[in-house]
Structure 1
Amino acid sequence: MAVLKLELDTQEIIDNFFDDTKLLGIVTTVKDYRFCWNLNNLLGLNFRINHDIEINLKRKKRHYFFSVYEYHEPNSALCHYLYNNLYDGEYLLPEFKNLDFLWLMKNDTVTEEYLNQIKAMLRNIPGVQLVTELTNEKIKNKEYLIF
């Protein structure tokens, strides 16, 4: 008896999610709650943890929970999501083991000028060691960023 195996094609969902997005990778020596506090106080943002979109992955017979912080710009459709890339020794995106956080901007056009301004402000935050722009092509496990 042949077993029919169905696979869900998620490529269209992934492509739609990453339309009009910009992604930054951040290396810092600061814990996630302290880093968000710095972002909120030094940059005038309002990042808040959102447990509803927390990323839950099962690897090695264990569950890993990657926190996601969210900020919606007032009077704009632009949303900012800050993903914690490390939880209990496991990485959300293993291809970026050197990155502590991933900052995704979506739902509105992000100009190069705006992106450069964000990168410059991030580099001035205490404990931030590296800020780099990531292209969608570099991400092997895009589905892990979708909530």
Structure 2
Amino acid sequence: MKLVLDPKEVTDCFFAETRLLGIMAPVKDYLFCWHLNNKLGIDFRINNDIEIQLTKKQRNYFFAVYEFPEHYTSVTHYLYNNQFDGEYLLPEFKHLDFIWLLKGDDVEDKSINELVRSIKDIRGVQLVTELTTEKIRNKEHLVF
């Protein structure tokens, strides 16, 4: 008997209990994380084990993913770089530089609104908007 993995089911499962933010901040990812860590008191670290690799036009593209597990909750924050060498992780959102994924416990609207306000206060940030998974055509690109 051969088992076949259903990519849609895997993607739907991955996005259960998640919230997404799109961020326009034309700065280097490591610098943006440094600002986030200092301003918000968090500790984003690059996680090379979950780096996203896409192959387009017979070339490999690598999208960095930073990770921060919250203490005393099951929420983990992931910050994806949406651009690498002229390609986009989510081509439908070319105007966004970063995708922030909160995964784990159900994150309340109040917490999201506070987070959005805090991110907007960081120098270089031009836009922070909540994204719904329905609007993302290439959701599977975010699955690690």
Judge same fold: TM > 0.5, yes or no.
Answer: yes
Q: Which amino acid aligns with 1:13?
A: V
Matched, 1:120 2:117: yes
Q: CA deviation at 1:8?
A: 4.9
RMSD: 0.9
Match of 1:104? Answer: 101
> % of aligned pairs identical?
60
Q: Which amino acid aligns with 2:50?
A: I
TM-score computed with the length of structure 2 as normaliser? 0.96
Aligned residues: 141
CA distance in 1, matches of 2:58, 2:8: 26
Matched, 1:79 2:70: no
**Which consecutive unaligned segments of at least 5 residues does structure 1 have?**
1-6
Between structure 1 and structure 2, the one with the greater Rg is 1
**Which consecutive unaligned segments of at least 5 residues does structure 2 have?**
none
1:70 to 51, 62, 67: 67
Q: CA deviation at 1:14?
A: 0.7
Match of 1:4? Answer: none
Q: Which amino acid aligns with 1:61?
A: Q
Q: Which amino acid aligns with 2:76?
A: C
Over 4 Å off, 4+ runs: none
Within 5 Å, which residues of 2 pair with 1:1-147?
8-147=5-144
TM-score computed with the length of structure 1 as normaliser? 0.94
**Secondary structure in structure 1 of the residue aligned to 2:126:** strand
Q: CA deviation at 1:9?
A: 2.4
